Amino acid sequence: MLTIIFQNALQSGGPDYSVPLGRRDGLNFATTAETLANLPPPSANTTTLLTSLATKSFDPTDVVALSGGHTIGISHCTSFTGRLYPSQDPTMDQTFANNLKITCPVANSTNTTFMDIRSPNTFDNKYYVDLMNRQGLFTSDQDLYTDARTRDIVTSFAINQTLFYEKFVDAMVKMGQLNVLTGTQGEIRQNCSVVNSNDLVIESVVKGRDSGGELSDF
């Protein structure tokens, strides 16, 4: 996931940075339930975001910076139509809401829309400009500007794209250092998206023994 976020950000004009090396891959993949348990939902308010991510040592600046990843990508209507139906969220700009209702005419619409209406294909700071104009798509987006604890951070990123890039990189590096596997923990995958087969493990062990390596290294 970290690789995907980094590639998408870089390819769409975002910051380039050195990713710390040495992190090994896990021996299994997180289930859908495990993944969702670690990701606050689109309907989360700022209190929920800050509380949830504080358990992983992210501070408010990290939270606002990571949320800026929503400057690119799309969302399904069902992730935000709770702000449109049955009644409109009062923090949402009226014209923005009217346009979303055209894209998502019913609450369970299967349509999609861009996360950032100003520059949907460019990784920049326009996401924060959206928030200042009450045009954040998710509750978890717009509430960052509504909440006094994060409002000034949103404003500073909207004004200063370089600052946003710096803080985004800091937060991404911090994310990459969560629950790191090193030494003999985990594995180094032949294919990042697939756990190594037993055959590959056996082959690695044999090669290690043939080259004088110790079996305990694997």
Which residues are annotated as part of the binding site? 40, 70-71, 116, 124
Q: Which residues are annotated as a binding site for substrate?
A: 40
Handedness of CA 145, 160, 67, 95 (dihedral sign): positive
- DSSP 8-state symbol, 30: -
CA angle 118, 120, 121 (to 5 degrees): 130
Q: Which residues are annotated as a binding site for heme b?
A: 70
Compute the distance between CA of residue 50 and CA of residue 64 in angstroms, rounded to an integer.
9
Counted residue by residue, the chain has a size of 218
Handedness of CA 98, 103, 105, 108 (dihedral sign): negative
Nearest to 27 by CA among 185, 214, 182, 199: 185
Q: Which residues are annotated as a binding site for Ca(2+)?
A: 71, 116, 124
